[in-house]
Amino acid sequence: MRINPGYGVNFSKTIAVYNFLEYSCRQHCLLQPMVIIELYPKFFFSRNPIPKPFKNPNFNPRNIVQFSHQPITTHPNRGIIFREKVLYLEKLKVNPEKAFRQNPTLRTCPLRTLKSVEQCLSSIGIHRTEMGRILDMFPALLTCEPHNDIYPLLDFLLNEVRIPYHDVQKSILRCPRLLVSSVENRLRPVLCFLRGLGFVGPHSLTCQTTLLLVSSVEDTLLPKVEFLMGLGLTRVEVSNMVVRSPGLLTLSVANNLGPKVEFFLNEMKGDVAELKRFPQYFCFSLEKRIKPRYAELVRLGLEIPLQEMLRVSDGEFDSRLFELRLRELEGRLE
């Protein structure tokens, strides 16, 4: 594919994404040319300026023809090179001491290695400030090879999970651990499990729920499903619950699901069928919302559906109680 420089294309982003698309073509050899073109953000072929989040005025296209690590060369003054890397990390808001301690390879890798990672992440719309937070969280990314370590993730999110291009950065910002998770050993098996659980069609994963992909099927996801089925729910009923409230799969059985079920069944004398209708119950704080509001209902001798009790704000809840109390008094006067 040839790109006409007369169309105002930002080469820092175009070259980065073009390299990724070349990678994607090799991974998906059956893709037709038009499919590849569709993966490009539309602004690459527009006469309009590129949106601000994707601007990188300091980028020099001659410095990055492709993202690959060059052989390490010796330098007469290693101290200067080390200092340059420290300053670079500080500008990114990455803790140098933590980074060098957790990733010793940083001491010997060239500075261009770090910059290639920055340019790769920048090409998908991740701002420098957000990038610093991610790299400080996972210093191993600083010396990764984008072609081998980041492109496979982007390819997976775009072509298998079917996340729209403009939402890929949102997925990564919401769950940076995606960048250090193996596609083959973790992400793809979890995707298969989630699809079998019902995350397909209108309930397919989005940039809001791709954080589920970093979970362990055996240690994290299955225990939640088994716990809910242990309440007498069928697998289909559990599937309907988790696709309506995906946050269920991120909660601890011991510290969250268990105590909330116990309070609901033993204290509130509730019916499991009501949990099936309103699975969002588990996403509310037991101590800060569920217990206080239920206690207020008991004090006033009132009953309202679980959904009405929890979903509204504190002000709306108080107004609802006032209305119910007023109706009760009016009924007595009649």
Express each pLDDT in 40-94 by its tens digit: 443 333 334 434 444 444 444 444 444 444 444 455 577 788 899 999 999 999 9
As given in the structure block, the two tokens for residue 129 are: 């400030």
> Do 145 and 273 belong together in one domain?
no
Q: Does residue 141 lie within any of the structural domains?
A: yes
**Cα–Cα distance between 50 and 166 in angstroms, integer?**
13
> Do 257 and 334 belong together in one domain?
no
pLDDT for position 328: 78
Q: Does residue 191 lie within any of the structural domains?
A: no
pLDDT for position 324: 87
- CB neighbours (10 Å) of residue 263? 15
* Total of domains in the chain: 3
> Do 243 and 314 belong together in one domain?
no
Phi, psi of 47 (to 5 degrees): -80, -10
Tens place of pLDDT for every residue, the chain, 334 residues? 444 444 444 444 555 555 565 565 556 554 444 344 344 443 333 334 434 444 444 444 444 444 444 444 455 577 788 899 999 999 999 999 999 999 999 998 899 999 999 999 999 999 998 999 999 999 999 999 999 999 999 999 999 999 999 999 999 999 999 999 999 999 999 999 999 999 999 999 999 999 999 999 999 999 999 999 999 999 999 999 999 999 999 999 999 999 999 999 999 999 999 999 999 999 999 999 999 999 999 999 989 999 999 999 999 999 999 888 888 777 666 6
N-terminal to C-terminal alpha carbon distance within the chain: 81
> Do 171 and 246 belong together in one domain?
no
DSSP H helices, the chain, are: 11-27, 33-39, 78-91, 96-102, 111-123, 128-137, 151-159, 165-174, 188-197, 222-229, 235-244, 258-262, 272-277, 291-300, 306-311, 314-333
Q: Does residue 198 lie within any of the structural domains?
A: no
Express each pLDDT in 237-254 by its tens digit: 999 999 999 999 999 999
> Do 271 and 308 belong together in one domain?
no
DSSP secondary structure letters along 7-72: G---HHHHHHHHHHHHHHHHH-TT--HHHHHHHS-GGGG-SSPPPGGG--TT--GGG-SS--PPPP
Q: Does residue 195 lie within any of the structural domains?
A: no
Measuring CA to CA, how many Å separate 310 from each of 228, 291, 323? 21, 10, 17
> Do 168 and 46 belong together in one domain?
yes
3-state secondary structure (DSSP) of residue 91: helix
**Cα–Cα distance between 32 and 16 in angstroms, integer?**
21
Q: Does residue 133 lie within any of the structural domains?
A: yes
CB contact set of 109 (below 8 Å; sequence gap of 6+)? 69, 72, 143
Q: Does residue 99 lie within any of the structural domains?
A: yes
Interhelix angle 165-174/128-137, rounded to 10 degrees, is 50
**The one-letter amino acid at 328:** E
> Do 271 and 292 belong together in one domain?
no
> Do 257 and 326 belong together in one domain?
no
**Cα–Cα distance between 233 and 272 in angstroms, integer?**
8
> Do 173 and 308 belong together in one domain?
no
pLDDT for position 81: 83
CB contact set of 26 (below 8 Å; sequence gap of 6+)? none
Q: Does residue 249 lie within any of the structural domains?
A: yes
> Do 223 and 270 belong together in one domain?
yes
**Cα–Cα distance between 234 and 191 in angstroms, integer?**
22
> Do 295 and 266 belong together in one domain?
no
**Cα–Cα distance between 302 and 282 in angstroms, integer?**
22
Among 148, 180, 212, where does a domain finish?
180
**Cα–Cα distance between 17 and 124 in angstroms, integer?**
8
**Cα–Cα distance between 302 and 135 in angstroms, integer?**
52
pTM over 0.85: no
The residue range of the domain holding 3 is: 1-180
Q: Does residue 16 lie within any of the structural domains?
A: yes
Q: Which among 293, 246, 230, 247 is positioned nearest to 267, based on CA atoms? A: 293
pLDDT for position 131: 94
DSSP H helices, 92-150, are: 96-102, 111-123, 128-137
> Do 125 and 111 belong together in one domain?
yes
